[in-house]
Amino acid sequence: MRLALVGATGMVGSEMIKVLEESNLSISEFIPVASEKSTGKQLQFKGKAHSCVGLNQAVSLRPDIALFSAGGSVSLEWAPKFAAQGTTVIDNSSAWRMNPEIALIVPEINAQSLTSSNKIIANPNCSTIQLVMALKPLHDEFNIKRLIISTYQSVSGTGYKAVNQMSAERVNADTEMAYPHRIDKNCIPQCDDFLDTGYTKEEMKMVHETKKILNDDSLRITATAVRVPVDGGHSESVNIEFTKPFELNELVSCMEKMPGLVIQNDHSTNSYPMPLYAKGKNEVFVGRIRRDESADNAINMWIVADNLRKGAATNAVQIAEYLADNNLIDKNITFNITSNA
Protein backbone atom coordinates (compact mmCIF):
# COMPACT_ATOMS: atom_id res chain seq x y z
CA MET A 1 0.00 0.00 0.00
CA ARG A 2 1.21 3.49 -0.88
CA LEU A 3 -0.10 5.88 1.75
CA ALA A 4 0.06 9.68 1.75
CA LEU A 5 -0.43 11.79 4.86
CA VAL A 6 -1.53 15.34 4.05
CA GLY A 7 -0.80 17.69 6.93
CA ALA A 8 1.93 15.43 8.25
CA THR A 9 3.65 18.13 10.32
CA GLY A 10 0.53 19.21 12.26
CA MET A 11 -0.61 18.00 15.68
CA VAL A 12 -3.10 15.45 14.32
CA GLY A 13 -0.70 14.50 11.52
CA SER A 14 2.02 13.73 14.05
CA GLU A 15 -0.42 11.57 16.00
CA MET A 16 -1.44 9.79 12.79
CA ILE A 17 2.18 8.81 12.23
CA LYS A 18 2.28 7.21 15.69
CA VAL A 19 -1.00 5.37 15.11
CA LEU A 20 0.11 4.19 11.65
CA GLU A 21 3.29 2.79 13.18
CA GLU A 22 1.16 0.83 15.67
CA SER A 23 -1.35 -0.37 13.07
CA ASN A 24 -1.52 -3.58 11.06
CA LEU A 25 -1.45 -1.75 7.73
CA SER A 26 1.18 -3.04 5.33
CA ILE A 27 2.59 0.24 3.99
CA SER A 28 5.12 -0.16 1.20
CA GLU A 29 5.60 3.57 0.66
CA PHE A 30 4.92 6.40 3.10
CA ILE A 31 4.44 9.84 1.54
CA PRO A 32 4.36 12.75 4.02
CA VAL A 33 2.71 15.82 2.47
CA ALA A 34 2.99 19.35 3.82
CA SER A 35 2.69 23.00 2.84
CA GLU A 36 5.34 24.68 0.70
CA LYS A 37 7.21 26.04 3.74
CA SER A 38 7.63 22.48 5.07
CA THR A 39 8.47 20.78 1.75
CA GLY A 40 11.70 18.85 2.17
CA LYS A 41 11.36 18.59 5.93
CA GLN A 42 12.39 15.16 7.22
CA LEU A 43 9.92 13.05 9.19
CA GLN A 44 10.57 9.69 10.79
CA PHE A 45 8.31 6.76 10.00
CA LYS A 46 9.15 3.27 11.22
CA GLY A 47 12.78 4.18 11.76
CA LYS A 48 13.36 5.75 8.35
CA ALA A 49 13.54 9.39 7.30
CA HIS A 50 11.03 10.60 4.71
CA SER A 51 11.03 13.99 3.00
CA CYS A 52 7.81 15.98 2.90
CA VAL A 53 6.48 16.64 -0.60
CA GLY A 54 3.98 19.16 -1.91
CA LEU A 55 0.39 18.42 -2.84
CA ASN A 56 0.93 18.44 -6.62
CA GLN A 57 3.70 15.86 -6.36
CA ALA A 58 1.63 13.74 -3.96
CA VAL A 59 -1.32 13.63 -6.40
CA SER A 60 1.00 12.57 -9.24
CA LEU A 61 2.30 9.67 -7.13
CA ARG A 62 -1.25 8.21 -7.05
CA PRO A 63 -1.20 6.77 -3.53
CA ASP A 64 -3.72 4.08 -2.63
CA ILE A 65 -4.90 6.03 0.42
CA ALA A 66 -4.47 9.66 1.42
CA LEU A 67 -5.14 10.63 5.03
CA PHE A 68 -6.00 14.34 5.20
CA SER A 69 -5.50 16.52 8.26
CA ALA A 70 -4.75 19.93 6.81
CA GLY A 71 -7.94 21.94 7.26
CA GLY A 72 -11.19 22.34 5.37
CA SER A 73 -10.00 24.62 2.57
CA VAL A 74 -7.17 22.27 1.65
CA SER A 75 -9.54 19.30 1.71
CA LEU A 76 -12.13 21.00 -0.49
CA GLU A 77 -9.52 21.84 -3.11
CA TRP A 78 -7.30 18.75 -3.05
CA ALA A 79 -9.38 15.75 -1.94
CA PRO A 80 -11.25 15.70 -5.30
CA LYS A 81 -7.92 15.82 -7.16
CA PHE A 82 -6.67 12.74 -5.33
CA ALA A 83 -10.03 10.98 -5.78
CA ALA A 84 -9.96 11.71 -9.50
CA GLN A 85 -6.71 9.72 -9.68
CA GLY A 86 -8.27 6.73 -7.93
CA THR A 87 -6.88 7.48 -4.46
CA THR A 88 -9.18 6.87 -1.50
CA VAL A 89 -9.19 9.96 0.70
CA ILE A 90 -9.97 9.81 4.42
CA ASP A 91 -10.51 13.41 5.49
CA ASN A 92 -10.30 14.67 9.06
CA SER A 93 -11.69 18.16 8.43
CA SER A 94 -15.32 19.27 8.53
CA ALA A 95 -15.31 19.99 4.77
CA TRP A 96 -17.16 16.88 3.58
CA ARG A 97 -18.96 15.53 6.64
CA MET A 98 -22.46 16.74 5.86
CA ASN A 99 -22.26 16.27 2.10
CA PRO A 100 -24.97 13.70 1.25
CA GLU A 101 -22.63 12.03 -1.27
CA ILE A 102 -19.92 11.44 1.34
CA ALA A 103 -19.88 8.68 3.96
CA LEU A 104 -19.30 9.82 7.57
CA ILE A 105 -17.69 6.85 9.27
CA VAL A 106 -16.98 5.51 12.73
CA PRO A 107 -15.77 1.96 11.90
CA GLU A 108 -17.39 0.23 14.89
CA ILE A 109 -20.74 1.72 13.86
CA ASN A 110 -21.09 1.99 10.09
CA ALA A 111 -17.95 0.87 8.24
CA GLN A 112 -20.02 -1.91 6.65
CA SER A 113 -21.65 0.74 4.46
CA LEU A 114 -18.37 1.42 2.63
CA THR A 115 -17.61 0.14 -0.87
CA SER A 116 -14.69 0.64 -3.24
CA SER A 117 -16.61 3.51 -4.85
CA ASN A 118 -16.26 5.63 -1.67
CA LYS A 119 -13.26 7.67 -2.77
CA ILE A 120 -13.73 10.48 -0.23
CA ILE A 121 -14.62 9.36 3.30
CA ALA A 122 -15.21 11.82 6.13
CA ASN A 123 -13.82 11.38 9.63
CA PRO A 124 -16.33 12.83 12.14
CA ASN A 125 -15.66 15.60 14.62
CA CYS A 126 -13.64 14.48 17.65
CA SER A 127 -16.45 15.18 20.12
CA THR A 128 -18.98 13.39 17.93
CA ILE A 129 -16.90 10.22 17.60
CA GLN A 130 -16.66 9.51 21.32
CA LEU A 131 -20.30 10.45 21.80
CA VAL A 132 -21.72 8.10 19.15
CA MET A 133 -19.50 5.24 20.30
CA ALA A 134 -21.44 5.27 23.58
CA LEU A 135 -24.80 6.08 22.01
CA LYS A 136 -24.91 3.44 19.28
CA PRO A 137 -25.59 0.34 21.44
CA LEU A 138 -28.08 2.29 23.57
CA HIS A 139 -29.97 3.65 20.59
CA ASP A 140 -30.21 0.18 19.05
CA GLU A 141 -31.62 -1.28 22.23
CA PHE A 142 -33.64 1.46 23.94
CA ASN A 143 -34.28 4.08 21.21
CA ILE A 144 -32.87 7.48 22.14
CA LYS A 145 -35.35 10.36 22.06
CA ARG A 146 -33.34 13.37 23.26
CA LEU A 147 -29.75 14.30 24.15
CA ILE A 148 -28.39 17.16 26.24
CA ILE A 149 -24.60 17.40 25.88
CA SER A 150 -22.02 19.51 27.68
CA THR A 151 -18.41 19.14 26.58
CA TYR A 152 -15.13 19.88 28.37
CA GLN A 153 -12.64 19.99 25.52
CA SER A 154 -8.84 19.80 25.57
CA VAL A 155 -6.71 22.60 24.15
CA SER A 156 -5.04 20.01 21.91
CA GLY A 157 -8.23 20.06 19.86
CA THR A 158 -7.26 23.53 18.68
CA GLY A 159 -3.65 22.61 17.81
CA TYR A 160 -0.08 23.50 18.71
CA LYS A 161 -0.84 27.21 19.07
CA ALA A 162 -3.38 26.57 21.83
CA VAL A 163 -1.15 24.10 23.67
CA ASN A 164 1.67 26.66 23.54
CA GLN A 165 -0.67 29.38 24.85
CA MET A 166 -1.64 27.31 27.89
CA SER A 167 1.96 26.28 28.57
CA ALA A 168 3.17 29.89 28.38
CA GLU A 169 0.37 31.17 30.61
CA ARG A 170 1.31 28.64 33.29
CA VAL A 171 4.74 30.28 33.62
CA ASN A 172 3.42 33.83 33.03
CA ALA A 173 5.25 34.15 29.71
CA ASP A 174 4.12 36.14 26.68
CA THR A 175 2.68 34.08 23.85
CA GLU A 176 0.61 34.19 20.69
CA MET A 177 -3.05 33.81 21.58
CA ALA A 178 -5.08 30.96 20.10
CA TYR A 179 -8.17 31.97 22.08
CA PRO A 180 -9.79 35.36 22.76
CA HIS A 181 -9.15 34.84 26.49
CA ARG A 182 -6.66 33.25 28.83
CA ILE A 183 -7.21 29.47 28.96
CA ASP A 184 -5.03 28.46 31.93
CA LYS A 185 -7.04 28.52 35.17
CA ASN A 186 -10.10 29.30 33.09
CA CYS A 187 -12.95 27.74 31.09
CA ILE A 188 -14.01 29.29 27.79
CA PRO A 189 -17.63 28.52 26.78
CA GLN A 190 -16.79 28.77 23.09
CA CYS A 191 -15.42 26.09 20.77
CA ASP A 192 -15.15 27.32 17.16
CA ASP A 193 -16.98 30.35 15.75
CA PHE A 194 -20.41 31.57 16.78
CA LEU A 195 -23.41 31.21 14.47
CA ASP A 196 -26.33 33.64 14.24
CA THR A 197 -28.34 31.36 16.55
CA GLY A 198 -25.88 31.84 19.41
CA TYR A 199 -24.62 28.26 19.10
CA THR A 200 -21.08 27.58 17.92
CA LYS A 201 -20.05 25.53 14.90
CA GLU A 202 -18.65 22.85 17.22
CA GLU A 203 -21.99 22.47 18.97
CA MET A 204 -23.89 22.12 15.72
CA LYS A 205 -21.36 19.65 14.34
CA MET A 206 -22.30 17.32 17.18
CA VAL A 207 -26.00 17.77 16.45
CA HIS A 208 -25.87 17.16 12.70
CA GLU A 209 -23.11 14.54 12.62
CA THR A 210 -24.72 12.41 15.34
CA LYS A 211 -27.95 12.25 13.38
CA LYS A 212 -26.10 11.28 10.19
CA ILE A 213 -23.95 8.57 11.79
CA LEU A 214 -26.85 7.02 13.69
CA ASN A 215 -29.06 7.46 10.62
CA ASP A 216 -31.86 9.09 12.58
CA ASP A 217 -33.02 12.64 11.85
CA SER A 218 -35.70 12.40 14.55
CA LEU A 219 -33.15 12.70 17.36
CA ARG A 220 -33.53 15.86 19.44
CA ILE A 221 -30.08 17.14 20.42
CA THR A 222 -28.72 20.25 22.10
CA ALA A 223 -25.11 20.92 23.06
CA THR A 224 -22.85 23.36 24.90
CA ALA A 225 -19.12 23.08 24.09
CA VAL A 226 -16.54 24.42 26.54
CA ARG A 227 -12.75 24.67 26.24
CA VAL A 228 -10.91 23.72 29.45
CA PRO A 229 -7.22 23.92 30.47
CA VAL A 230 -6.54 20.24 29.83
CA ASP A 231 -4.15 18.58 27.38
CA GLY A 232 -5.09 14.96 26.96
CA GLY A 233 -8.67 14.41 25.96
CA HIS A 234 -12.23 15.63 25.65
CA SER A 235 -14.84 14.93 28.32
CA GLU A 236 -18.60 15.00 27.87
CA SER A 237 -21.50 15.09 30.31
CA VAL A 238 -24.47 13.56 28.49
CA ASN A 239 -28.12 13.36 29.49
CA ILE A 240 -30.01 10.76 27.45
CA GLU A 241 -33.77 10.30 27.31
CA PHE A 242 -35.12 7.04 25.85
CA THR A 243 -38.53 6.08 24.52
CA LYS A 244 -38.25 2.64 26.14
CA PRO A 245 -37.94 1.76 29.84
CA PHE A 246 -34.74 0.06 30.98
CA GLU A 247 -32.95 -1.56 33.88
CA LEU A 248 -29.66 0.19 34.59
CA ASN A 249 -27.64 -3.03 34.69
CA GLU A 250 -29.02 -4.01 31.27
CA LEU A 251 -28.02 -0.64 29.89
CA VAL A 252 -24.46 -0.97 31.22
CA SER A 253 -24.21 -4.52 29.93
CA CYS A 254 -25.30 -3.30 26.51
CA MET A 255 -22.44 -0.78 26.39
CA GLU A 256 -19.90 -3.33 27.66
CA LYS A 257 -20.44 -5.34 24.48
CA MET A 258 -19.55 -2.39 22.22
CA PRO A 259 -16.05 -2.80 20.67
CA GLY A 260 -13.74 0.05 21.59
CA LEU A 261 -15.82 1.12 24.60
CA VAL A 262 -14.48 0.71 28.15
CA ILE A 263 -16.77 1.05 31.16
CA GLN A 264 -15.23 2.66 34.28
CA ASN A 265 -18.17 2.91 36.64
CA ASP A 266 -17.19 1.64 40.09
CA HIS A 267 -18.25 4.28 42.61
CA SER A 268 -16.78 2.35 45.55
CA THR A 269 -13.25 2.82 44.19
CA ASN A 270 -13.75 6.29 42.67
CA SER A 271 -13.36 4.72 39.25
CA TYR A 272 -14.53 6.95 36.41
CA PRO A 273 -13.03 8.23 33.15
CA MET A 274 -10.59 11.15 33.20
CA PRO A 275 -8.62 12.77 30.38
CA LEU A 276 -5.39 12.39 32.36
CA TYR A 277 -5.61 8.62 31.91
CA ALA A 278 -7.31 8.57 28.50
CA LYS A 279 -4.37 10.37 26.87
CA GLY A 280 -2.50 8.13 24.44
CA LYS A 281 -5.20 5.45 24.44
CA ASN A 282 -7.43 4.45 21.52
CA GLU A 283 -10.56 3.50 23.47
CA VAL A 284 -13.57 5.56 24.56
CA PHE A 285 -14.22 5.49 28.31
CA VAL A 286 -17.67 5.75 29.94
CA GLY A 287 -18.62 6.16 33.59
CA ARG A 288 -20.83 7.99 36.14
CA ILE A 289 -23.76 6.06 34.65
CA ARG A 290 -26.89 6.80 36.66
CA ARG A 291 -30.60 7.39 36.32
CA ASP A 292 -31.86 10.92 35.83
CA GLU A 293 -34.33 11.08 38.71
CA SER A 294 -36.01 14.18 37.27
CA ALA A 295 -37.25 12.48 34.08
CA ASP A 296 -38.72 9.17 32.96
CA ASN A 297 -36.50 6.75 31.02
CA ALA A 298 -33.42 8.99 31.24
CA ILE A 299 -29.81 8.68 32.38
CA ASN A 300 -26.70 10.79 32.89
CA MET A 301 -23.23 9.59 31.98
CA TRP A 302 -19.66 10.82 31.46
CA ILE A 303 -17.65 10.07 28.29
CA VAL A 304 -13.90 10.64 27.83
CA ALA A 305 -11.51 9.96 24.95
CA ASP A 306 -8.18 11.21 23.64
CA ASN A 307 -9.33 13.64 20.96
CA LEU A 308 -6.11 13.20 18.95
CA ARG A 309 -6.47 9.42 19.05
CA LYS A 310 -10.00 8.00 18.67
CA GLY A 311 -11.25 11.51 18.06
CA ALA A 312 -9.04 11.89 14.99
CA ALA A 313 -5.98 9.77 14.10
CA THR A 314 -7.11 6.37 15.39
CA ASN A 315 -10.53 6.59 13.76
CA ALA A 316 -8.98 7.56 10.39
CA VAL A 317 -6.45 4.73 10.52
CA GLN A 318 -9.17 2.26 11.51
CA ILE A 319 -11.08 3.29 8.39
CA ALA A 320 -7.95 2.63 6.32
CA GLU A 321 -7.53 -0.77 7.98
CA TYR A 322 -11.14 -1.67 7.19
CA LEU A 323 -10.67 -0.72 3.54
CA ALA A 324 -7.50 -2.80 3.29
CA ASP A 325 -8.91 -5.82 5.14
CA ASN A 326 -11.99 -5.87 2.90
CA ASN A 327 -10.19 -5.22 -0.41
CA LEU A 328 -12.02 -1.92 -0.93
CA ILE A 329 -9.04 0.00 -2.33
CA ASP A 330 -9.32 0.15 -6.11
CA LYS A 331 -7.43 2.82 -8.05
CA ASN A 332 -9.33 1.92 -11.20
CA ILE A 333 -12.40 3.53 -9.64
CA THR A 334 -12.30 7.32 -9.61
CA PHE A 335 -14.63 9.89 -8.15
CA ASN A 336 -15.26 13.44 -9.27
CA ILE A 337 -16.95 15.99 -7.06
CA THR A 338 -16.53 19.73 -7.19
CA SER A 339 -18.51 21.24 -4.35
CA ASN A 340 -19.64 20.64 -0.80
CA ALA A 341 -23.37 20.55 -0.05
235-294 tens-digit pLDDT:
999 999 999 999 999 999 999 999 999 999 999 999 999 999 999 999 999 999 999 999
Predicted model pTM: 0.96
- Domain annotation covers residue 332: no
pLDDT one-digit tens code per residue, 16-74: 999 999 999 999 999 999 988 889 999 999 999 999 999 999 999 999 999 999 999 99
Q: What are phi and psi of 153, to 5 degrees?
A: -105, 135
Catalytic residue among 50, 52, 139, 234: 234
Task: Mark whether 112 and 226 lie in a shared domain.
Answer: no
187 is catalytic: no
Catalytic residue among 50, 52, 126, 191: 126
Rg of the chain, C-alpha, whole Å: 20
Cα separation of 320 and 315, whole Å?
9
Give the Å distances, CA to CA, from 331 to 84, 93, 193, 328. Answer: 9, 23, 38, 10
Q: What is the pLDDT of residue 36?
A: 84
Same domain, 288 and 317: no
59 and 168 part of one domain:
no
Name the residue range of residue 224's domain: 127-307
Q: Is residue 333 part of a domain?
A: no
Q: Are residues 147 and 103 in the same domain?
A: no
* CATH code assigned at 296: 3.30.360.10
| Residue 96, domain member (yes or no) | yes
Domain count, the chain: 2
Q: Is residue 334 part of a domain?
A: no
Q: What is the pLDDT of residue 339?
A: 52
Query: 237 with 131: CB under 8 angstroms?
Result: no
Could you confirm whether 208 is annotated as catalytic? no
